[in-house]
């Protein structure tokens, strides 16, 4: 058994004041003193021209996800000071995770997404190295993953990466028809639909278990339950993120369940060679994640929730006196995923002429930078044009709630004037346009079909992946077009901005999480 406290008792801990030793001063007498000052921490991002932020949005990956527990950081530092054989380490961790969680076995991965990929590869290969080296060419192997329609999200790409084909089902009859000799596993996104209904885990298990088809539950943002809720319902495997409510390393995840499948998942992952070598998890993340699991059962979750609500109450008390501003604090209730209190702040747009998108940007572009609601997504889609925002306090530090309260009071008490464009369009741009997209390392031809009614635009954007609806505006010669495709778990959200000049237009396009590109378009002539 890995005893974290025993390990930390004999390993020095790195603090802001330097290296503190505990019973090992003689052995470390020749070690150099490390001095890390508050100023160094303040400047670590500034030296790269990167702006740190206050995270009032929650455990969202793009803004850094969770705030690691001090015990997790200590364990990672301790792990970095000695070498071990990684297979032996994971074997010991598997024993400890089984003791802690009640699952047959467990392993640490480089994230919840990696846990899904590793589990899929294990179900496809069964731990057979010959089959592992065939991935992602799965000819002659079980190459289908059944997925309920309610589970289709961008995160299914982790299973598709193995080379599997996703088979969507929307009813028990469709599930029964889909189950066959090529079925590798069933992937279920946990939530209300997986708990109850015609395609709940229990109902799926009734049909899958007799055929020996494993079920993988994606519970990335959920709290850890013992006994494990999803395994009890009939799942064979369940994947969690370390960078969410467990406050472990951002680049770590947890896979629990059937020992044979969990062990096969570890065998197909790094440090072993082959398909998943890139999904490496180091000894530091392994012990950091294990510590996060141990601490999950020691933390005072009720006290944490009380503190979060106190911070929200402070913000409410600061802005509630403002006329036409209302607040509502909602508790998480019985759900397991992202179980944090949130506060919705709403205002009368006739008194405060700002949209939620406006306020998000004002907070984001202020000093200090503050992320709320969709801020930090690069392209919230669609933008929040309603007069409200939401605040999640779970990733704040004490004192940051005061900064947020003061900044909101400043914005909502004296709303800045945001100029609105004239609605009169300068051109008629109805018709087909030949679109050229200039990406980081390629240039691709696509098509726009535009329908114009006064200054409003609608139509179709035909991209390389799929056709998608678009909407937008033309104010004078300033054009704005938003297109979106989210079918089959895909996330393609583009925002074109630019200038129209007769039969030609050009500008920049935000690709959401995929950065920026340039675009040009010319009217199609026949």
Domain termination residue (choose one: 368, 386, 413): 413
Residue 373 lies in a domain: yes
Q: What is the DSSP string of 88-146?
A: HHHHHHHHHHHHHH-SSEEEEESSHHHHHHHHHHHHHHTT-HHHHTTTT--TTS--EEE
Same domain as 179, residue 281? yes
Under DSSP, the state recorded for 276 is: B
Record the pTM. Answer: 0.87
DSSP β-bridge partners for residue 218: 189, 239
Residue 308 lies in a domain: yes
**How many separate domains does the chain show?**
4
Handedness of CA 303, 309, 311, 314 (dihedral sign): negative
Of 65, 108, 116, nearest to 281 (Cα)? 108
Residue 402 lies in a domain: yes
- CATH number of the domain to which 510 belongs: 2.40.128.120
Residue 319 lies in a domain: yes
Tokens found for residue 460: 């179709």
Same domain as 41, residue 81? no
Give residue 115's Cα distance to chain centre: 14
Same domain as 368, residue 321? yes
Rounded distance between C-alpha atoms, residue 524 and residue 249, angstroms: 52
Same domain as 377, residue 338? yes
Same domain as 377, residue 316? yes
Please state, as a whole number, how many other Cβ atoms lie within 10 Å of the Cβ of residue 459: 20
- CATH number of the domain to which 322 belongs: 3.90.1150.180
Same domain as 121, residue 246? yes
Let me know: does 514 contact 492? Beta carbons within 8 Å.
no
Rounded distance between C-alpha atoms, residue 156 and residue 186, angstroms: 11
Contacts of 355 (CB under 8 A, 6+ apart): 349, 383, 384, 385, 386, 387
Same domain as 217, residue 105? yes
Same domain as 330, residue 290? no
Domain termination residue (choose one: 274, 296, 318): 296
Residue 57 lies in a domain: no
Q: What angle do CA 207, 210, 211 make, to 5 degrees?
A: 90
Same domain as 468, residue 369? no
Domain termination residue (choose one: 350, 381, 413): 413
State which residues form the domain around 36: 1-50
Residue 60 lies in a domain: no
Let me know: does 18 contact 35? Beta carbons within 8 Å.
yes
Residue 424 lies in a domain: no
Under DSSP, the state recorded for 333 is: T
Same domain as 161, residue 199? yes
Rounded distance between C-alpha atoms, residue 247 and residue 243, angstroms: 6
Q: Is 184 exposed, middle or buried (0-12, 13-18, 19+ CB in 10 A)?
A: buried
Tokens found for residue 346: 């709403």
Same domain as 206, residue 186? yes
Same domain as 312, residue 284? no
pLDDT in tens, the chain (526 residues): 444 444 333 333 333 222 222 333 333 334 344 444 556 566 788 889 999 999 999 999 999 999 999 999 999 999 999 999 999 999 999 999 999 999 999 999 999 999 999 999 999 999 999 999 999 999 999 999 999 999 999 999 999 999 999 999 999 999 999 999 999 999 999 999 999 999 999 999 999 999 999 999 999 999 999 999 999 999 999 999 999 999 999 999 999 999 999 999 999 999 999 998 999 999 999 999 999 999 999 999 999 999 999 999 999 999 999 999 999 999 987 788 888 999 999 999 999 999 999 999 999 999 999 999 988 777 677 789 999 999 999 999 999 999 999 999 999 999 998 887 777 899 999 999 999 999 999 999 999 999 999 999 999 999 999 999 999 999 999 999 999 998 888 889 999 999 999 999 999 999 988 899 999 999 998 8
């Amino acid at each position: 058994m890995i005893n974290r406290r025993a390990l930390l008792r004999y390993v020095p801990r790195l603090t802001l004041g330097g290296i503190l030793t505990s019973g090992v001063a003689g052995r470390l007498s020749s070690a150099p003193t490390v001095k890390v000052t508050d100023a160094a921490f303040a400047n670590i991002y500034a030296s790269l021209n990167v702006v740190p932020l206050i995270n009032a949005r929650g455990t969202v990956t793009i803004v850094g996800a969770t705030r690691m527990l001090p015990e997790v950081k200590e364990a990672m530092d301790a792990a970095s000071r000695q070498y071990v054989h990684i297979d032996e380490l994971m074997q010991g961790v598997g024993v400890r995770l089984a003791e802690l969680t009640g699952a047959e076995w467990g392993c640490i991965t480089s994230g919840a997404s990696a846990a899904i990929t590793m589990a899929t590869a294990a179900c496809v290969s069964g731990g057979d190295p010959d089959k592992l080296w065939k991935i992602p060419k799965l000819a002659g192997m079980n190459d289908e993953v059944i997925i309920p329609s309610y589970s289709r999200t961008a995160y299914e790409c982790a299973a598709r990466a193995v080379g599997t084909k996703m088979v969507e089902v929307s009813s028990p009859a469709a599930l029964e028809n889909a189950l066959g000799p090529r079925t590798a596993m069933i992937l279920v996104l946990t939530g209300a639909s997986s708990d109850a209904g015609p395609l709940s885990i229990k109902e799926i298990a009734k049909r899958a278990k007799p055929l020996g088809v494993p079920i993988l539950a994606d519970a990335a943002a959920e709290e850890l339950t013992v006994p494990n809720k999803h395994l009890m319902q009939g799942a064979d495997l369940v994947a969690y993120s370390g960078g969410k409510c467990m406050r472990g390393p951002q680049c770590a995840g947890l896979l629990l369940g059937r020992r044979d499948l969990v062990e096969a998942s570890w065998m197909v992952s790094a440090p072993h060679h082959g398909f998943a070598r890139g999904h490496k998890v180091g000894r530091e993340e392994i012990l950091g994640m294990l510590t996060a699991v141990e601490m999950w059962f020691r933390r005072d979750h009720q006290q944490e929730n009380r503190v979060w609500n106190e911070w929200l109450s402070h913000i409410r008390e600061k802005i509630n006196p403002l006329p036409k501003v209302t607040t509502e604090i909602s508790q998480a209730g019985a759900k397991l995923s992202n179980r944090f209190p949130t506060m919705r702040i709403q205002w009368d747009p006739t008194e405060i002429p700002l949209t939620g998108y406006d306020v998000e940007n004002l907070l984001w572009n202020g000093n200090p930078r503050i992320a709320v609601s969709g801020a930090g997504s690069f392209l919230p889609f669609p933008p929040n044009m309603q007069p409200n925002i939401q605040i999640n306090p779970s990733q704040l530090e004490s004192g940051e709630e005061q900064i947020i309260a003061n900044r909101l009071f400043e914005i909502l008490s004296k709303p800045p004037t945001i100029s609105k464009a004239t609605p009169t369009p300068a051109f008629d741009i109805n018709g087909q346009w030949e679109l050229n997209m200039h990406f980081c390392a390629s240039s691709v031809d696509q098509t726009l079909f535009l329908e114009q009614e006064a200054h409003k635009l609608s139509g179709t954007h035909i991209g390389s992946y799929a056709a998608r609806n678009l909407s937008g505006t033309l104010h004078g010669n300033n054009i704005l077009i938003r297109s979106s495709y989210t079918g089959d778990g895909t996330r393609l959200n583009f925002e074109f901005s630019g200038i129209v000049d007769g039969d030609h237009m050009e500008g920049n396009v935000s690709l959401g999480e995929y950065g920026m590109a340039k675009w040009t378009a010319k009217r199609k002539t026949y």
